[in-house]
Structure 1
């Protein structure tokens, strides 16, 4: 894989969620699309929107104490494109009949309906970045978490989510501790919680030094401590973890 220059638009090579950020000064309500909208804390819930210095909203929000943000659903691709393509200084975006505003419950700024969810936020802090400002809001109220509304994903163009990835491989890691091994593994989160992991400690020639069946934790993962047998054909070099219906995963232990 060829290296990319830092001058390339690297953000277009990754993905982000799109937020519809609503601000009001008491007379004019404006909606802008923020391509970089993320949850940044969960207790309390905080969400960050990153705004370019040239955005009209960046200047407006500097004097405000609140905003609302709607995480876009795939049905809002046109709305997101429209709100991200024009400035509120030039056009009254709320005139679009594709934008459905709703009254707030806690703050005084309305929110856009029909997304995955909308959050009423008070501004917790602003973080200055080169040419951008990250505005971090503390969620005071959430509207309409719609699991039936797939989120809109930005990856240069806009995309909807496809099918969930079905993982057929167990992925394993292990750490050598003073008196044994800590073994951690994951596989498909939809696997049965009743199906155990089969953990095998392997020697130099791949021979099984020890083996044990262990049930997954509440998340379906494996996290266990195994004592290394005091005697045996040789040192443990690898750990193999299998599960019915999945390809076996391996972890290599340092020699010496």
Structure 2
């Protein structure tokens, strides 16, 4: 009888010991998994050969809104877009060309003063995937200088016009310290400049995820439906924000 009691007692201790060990191993595995992912993100950002279509920050809770400003014809709607963003208390990323930055310093400074992030969109609106490494480097560097001369702030992100990245484009941008990005949610507002309803219908069908990057332009239609785009993002459970909200700072 005593032996049976002892056996049950030992068995109970063994079970408890196994559970404790399993718990510890599970915790270590979880930590290692997270560190491994963070390390991969860090290494990826240090020498990535392709532009990111989504942010690298896990569980950011954000969706980045990016607005490309490059050709000049859309300038008349920027003030309205800034007003909507103010009303919605949303800060986004404006990707501007260096040439635009030189010619529209007042608007660029207004974007910065309102807390929006400024990204590099190249100096001119060219097909960067057809340019050599040196040509890419010079275009991106010239734009970097133009933007930073006005804003007095270093730009962190780069997107090639039309998203036309070649291997030399990415390498040149990385060498200049940039994170290259594209998008996974395209409003295609440049095609439907006067049709906000179509843009909304398109966005409603998109698979918006944590870390998604939304692409838009300051068109008439976007200035009309931007508040609805923001509402859709919030309804999906995410906070609309800047690129820096969805990319790791490491």
| Structure with the larger helix share | 2
* Normalised TM-score (structure 2): 0.22
Q: Which has the larger radius of gyration?
A: 1
| Structure holding more strand per residue | 1
Q: TM-score, normalised by structure 1?
A: 0.21
